[in-house]
Amino acid sequence: MIKIGFTGDFCPWMRVEDQLKTADNESLFGTVRPFFAANDLNVLDLECPLTTAQTAIAKTGPHIKAAPATAAILQYLNCKVVATANNHFKDYDWAGMQETYETLQKHQIQWLGSGQNFEEASQTFYYKKDDLTVALINVAENEWTTTFDTTPGCHPIDLVNVFNQIQEAKKKSDCIIIIAHGGHEHYELPSPRMKKWYRFFVDAGANAVIGHHTHIISGYEVYQEAPIFYSLGNFCFDWPGLRNKPWNNGMMVRLQIEKHQPITFELEYFNQNNEQPGVFLLSDEEKSTAMQSVDQLNGIIADDLLLEQRFANYVASWKPVMDTWIQPYQGKYLPSLFKRGLLPQLITKKKKLLYTNLIRCEAHRDILINTINPTK
């Protein structure tokens, strides 16, 4: 049997990084360490580069990084490999990635999901123990960090490429696990599209799917004997202003793999970086509440109609924000005035129809992305 532990987003910055200068790993991660010690392999999602690099890439959203010294946390947690296909790993460009790789090597930690080019980023990671071989494939939704060519970056979700990669891995392994970074941040369910895609990975030959990126716990299902975890939530990600929120709860999963047998799993729940920095197992009462919440999400995931309805409600909640974003108003005040109805719509219904078709049609979108992207 092979036991592999997985967690969600790991970004050891802010108070965690500061604490390491005066405290030890035991005070920050001691309660969860036994979970990792019991596994043959542990795979954490390294959500940021471990670098001192200063030059950030052009992108939307925040740039994040942590000090190279924080790699000692991974070693303490018996983490021998990190997943790096995500929307922040390239925040400080190739220099930041390179320093991270050098740091990981010094701590005898391997990685998958990124590289100097697409060929490197898309490599399958194989783990062998006795007569069992497990293949790990790490992909991320396409944002500013993914690569499709000779440029450095992370491995993008491309259904054709992933299908072919799964077929190749089937020839070399007994079990295939997809580690996918995607979904809607702060939304506790997968979209219907995500459910379809992750099930497609299983139909193509994967034996399990592990998801993260949303920063909160989602539900899971077992499809064709393969467990699909839509989001494990954050593992360690301190953020100012977020305390005692869904952001601060996480889930760890241990996959138990035997030859010619369906994968079984065990779950553990914890909270992270509330008033006290660090990661701490929940009490029995807290764990029972967390499990009940996840069971409710699982019930929604199992019902296609209900999942569609919940996602439609979520989309509706974003309509005012999206409507503001696509307007040409810029700066601090004009978008706010538009939201309050004090400035007019500058994009007509006819123009919105055009935008809809440019984005919806794959052929149009190919051209649109390459013509409006300011980094090209």
User: Which of 69-73, 232-236, 327-331 is the least confident region?
Assistant: 327-331
The span from the CA of 33 to the CA of 26, in Å, is 8
Structural domain boundaries, residue 24: 2-302
Q: DSSP strand E in 216-263: where?
A: 220-223, 226-229, 234-237, 249-257
The span from the CA of 365 to the CA of 359, in Å, is 5
CB 117 within 8 A of CB 150: yes
Structure tokens at 49: 């580069």
Question: Does the residue 312 lie in any domain?
Answer: no
Q: How confident is the model at residue 287 (pLDDT cuts 50, 70, 90)?
A: very high
What does the pLDDT look like over 21-63, one tens digit per residue?
887 899 999 999 999 999 999 999 999 999 999 999 999 899 9
CB 137 within 8 A of CB 265: no
**pTM reported for the whole predicted model:** 0.94
225 pLDDT above the threshold of 90 = yes
Same domain, 237 and 340: no
User: Which of 57-66, 178-187, 189-198, 313-322 is the least confident region?
Assistant: 313-322
Rounded to 10 deg, the angle between the 159-170 and 192-204 helix axes is 30
Same domain, 168 and 67: yes
CATH code where residue 183 lies: 3.60.21.10
Number of domains in the chain: 2
Same domain, 211 and 333: no
Last residue of a domain, one of 302, 337, 362: 302
Q: Which helix (H) or strand (E) holds 268?
A: strand 264-272
The span from the CA of 35 to the CA of 57, in Å, is 36
The span from the CA of 36 to the CA of 22, in Å, is 24
Residue in the structure block whose two tokens are 């209900």: 306
* Rounded average pLDDT over 251-264: 97
233 pLDDT above the threshold of 80 = yes
Backbone torsion region of residue 136, taken as left when φ is above 0, otherwise alpha when ψ lies between -120 and 50, otherwise beta: beta
Backbone angles phi, psi at 129, to 5 degrees: -145, 120
Same domain, 9 and 134: yes
Last residue of a domain, one of 246, 275, 302: 302
Same domain, 23 and 103: yes
Structure tokens at 166: 């799964």
Same domain, 368 and 290: no
Question: Does the residue 344 lie in any domain?
Answer: yes
Same domain, 284 and 334: no
The span from the CA of 190 to the CA of 77, in Å, is 29
Buried b (16+ CB within 10 A) or exposed e, 126-164: ebeeeebbbbbbbbbbbbbbbbeeeebbbbbbbeebbee
What does the pLDDT look like over 99-142, one tens digit per residue?
999 999 999 999 999 999 999 999 999 999 999 999 999 999 99
Same domain, 134 and 33: yes
CB 227 within 8 A of CB 265: yes
What is the share, in percent, of the chain residues with pLDDT greater than 70?
A: 100
**Alpha helices (H) along 175-238:** 192-204
Structure tokens at 150: 């000779």
- Tell me what pLDDT residue 312 has: 94
